[in-house]
Structure 1
Amino acid sequence: MPSSDSAIQPLSHSAHSFPVLVTGGTGFLGRHIVGRLLAQGRPVTVLARRVADDLVARGARFIAASLDDAGALRDACAGVHTVFHVAAKVGVWGRYDDFYRANVIGTRTLLASAREHGVRCFVHTSTPSVVYNGLDLAGADESLPLTTRCPSAYPLTKAIAEREVLAANSPGLRTVALRPHLIWGNDDPHLIPRVLAQARGGRLRIVGDGRNRVDMVHVENATDAHLLAETNIGQCAGRAYFITNNEPVVLWEWINNLLVSLGERPVGKRISLRAASAIGACCEAAWRVLPLRGEPPMTRFVASELAKDHWFNATASYRDIGYSPRVSMAGGTAALIESLKAK
């Protein structure tokens, strides 16, 4: 069960001095992981495309590179005990080859580099969409097979990467894959701003019957899970775990409550899943043949994600990782609303 929101402060479990590499350490989750590690006094190397001066000021060492820079990945693993592999190409649209190069080849190269330099622990940030099957996922657990058929390159390539990470588990290099679902929280630069922009522009529609339930995970809880996976790698190595707040919400109720709390109009217009999927297919076709920039306003994958149940059985993460969400949905949402009102 979720515990008290009074524990939003960093975990107090004992820190050690083993050097750490965090890929994608300037992203939303990665930045929180880096911040927590630095607060513990850990030597931290960050591999990211751009240097973050504030993290440098706090003591982080930076390697400015992307996941397709094999030399940089090898250099980044030198002298490291643990790799937190958070970086990925994320999105619902784009060329499969681009996703494959970052998410599969990049992960494969990083694993090889970790083995070459004697890295002992590899914590991989995966995603629940690796088990996408086009159906409602209600209380699903880790026994679901990895997807091989999905209308989006992101889940397909992340599934391949996760499989290779877990296959690499050995006594010398212990690996684990975490699947945090819909990471959110204060200063979220992706999920919440996108929802607000779509709603304010009158472009948001309830897809389906509006009663679908989804799991989300607060960024502080997702950070906890990653650090606990390192601490308890002996119990969780070689497996994948769903990481959630363990409080499924009715998606459209949560979105509308957030909007109303911010003085915005709730979403009332609806579209059926069938119609949204058809529009998504047309948009995908147009984006393939025309020189259109950005992501399509709708895709088949997004339509499914907005209309279907996506909540998971996270029992295994409690048992093996020692994970338990410290920031509840209610407490985290209240803090998010206050931070947004203050902007």
Structure 2
Amino acid sequence: MDLTDLHPLEQAALTQLSVSVNKVFVTGAGGFLGLAICQRLLAVGIQVVGFARGDYPRLVELGVDMRQGDISDYDNVKQAMQGCDLVFHVASKAGVWGSKQSYYSPNVDGVNNIINACKALNIQRLVYTSTPSVTFAGRDENGINESAPYAETYLNYYGESKAIAEQHVLAANSAQLHTTALRPHLIWGPNDPHLVPRVIERARAGRLKLVGHEDKLVDTIYVDNAAYAHVLAALDLVTNAKCAGKAYFLSNDQPITMADMLNRILASVDLPPVTKRVPAGVAYAAGVVLETVYGLLNKSQEPIMTRFVARQLSTSHYFDISAAKQDLGYQPLISLEQGMQKLKQSLSN
């Protein structure tokens, strides 16, 4: 990626960041968002140390100093972070199925290791990638902002562990360590390994259905916009620190119905729109049964339906991102329509 490939506003933010930051640590560098962040930092000559469990030759070719390790191993993390000025902690275990320990170890222990290593190494800025799932309690979220409380109970260990981790990050904010948490919602775009391929795969298998009889609104975020917001948060931490100690919802600020979003993805590969529906109660009941059966059988494979997925697909999820606009100067640089065009082009290659 060349700097000139980016929007002028993003070019300006990155150039300004490069004045204050020389070397950045990025966890989850091999992931969808992590890669996008790494590419932007490299475009302005910032040294990038990437941290991931796997081996990523492409990142090495791009110029990332890759360190392979386990985020739940403190010594491993601390050693890799030495000499860095700023941290983007993007890595986490996502998904909707798994044991409590399988989520708490990377998501909670991992974030504690990052915080403690920052303190030990005198790294003064930490941008944490959180999730809107920290507030999701199975009900509609119609234009909520950051005043919304954390959920009382969670339908999976992902949201629960991320909520604990986010609170640890924000509590760690101090004069010595400025921290902030970003909550991007449903990141998608070219080379998306999660949302887009799952929707397409289920549609081709005839297993994609809308849940509930109401058309609920959802707001997502294009990957470039999510990466841009992370750059802005880092820049603010090294300049004004308005965002220090705060969490921010992030999206494309274009709520559309779930059906519309799914059908736009399907149209990008010339698949017909999804029209079949299943009642929300039926989907939730199926999730209860499948979770029980999979739990009794100790199956690691994710069920085709869970309580969390049933509620996610049958409730609204869109957010008031005024705080991100005001404190970070964030605005979506790629619209939903532009993003879909880029997605279609990438899938046709």
What's the TM-score once normalised by structure 1's chain length?
A: 0.95
SS at match of 1:327: coil
Does the 8 Å CA contact 1:245/1:328 hold for their aligned counterparts? Answer: yes
What corresponds to 2:263 in structure 1?
A: 256
Identity among equivalent positions (%) equals: 41
Alignment equivalent of 1:281, drawn from 282, 285, 288: 288
List gaps (5 residues or longer) in structure 2: none
Please name the residue that 2:79 is paired with: 75
Measure the CA separation in 2 of the matches of 1:79 and 1:192: 37
Match of 1:300 in 2: 307
Write out aligned runs for 1:61-210 (5 A). Answer: 61-210=65-214
| Secondary structure of 1:12 counterpart | helix
Which 4+ runs in 1 deviate beyond 4 A? none
- Which of 241, 247, 267 is the aligned partner of 2:248? 241
Q: How many residues align?
A: 338
Instruction: Report the equivalent of 2:337.
Output: 330
Distance 1:66 1:330 in 2: 38
Structure 2 counterpart of 1:117, which letter? L
**Contact 2:138–2:155 (Cα < 8 Å) also in 1:** no
Contact preservation (8 Å) 2:73, 2:113? no
CA change 1:43–1:69 in 2 (3 A) is same
User: Which TM-score applies when normalising by structure 2?
Assistant: 0.94
Matched residue SS, 2:242: helix
CA distance in 2 between partners of 1:133 and 1:211 (Å): 19
Shift of 1:43: 1.0
The structural deviation recorded for 1:248 is: 0.7
2: CA distance, partners of 1:287 / 1:119:
43
Structure 1, residues 261-283: CA drift from partner, whole Å, max 9, x if none?
42212212111111100000000
The 3 A distance-change label for structure 1 pair 100 and 293 is closer
Summarize the Cα distance change of 1:334–1:210 in structure 2 as closer, same or farther, 3 Å threshold.
Answer: farther
Superposed CA deviations along residues 67-113 of structure 1, whole A, max 9, x for unmatched, are: 12221111122111100000001110100111011100110111001
Match of 1:226 in 2: 230
- Range 81-90 or range 287-296, more displaced: 287-296
C-alpha contact (below 8 Å) 2:268/2:340 kept by paired residues: no
**Secondary structure of 1:195's match?**
helix
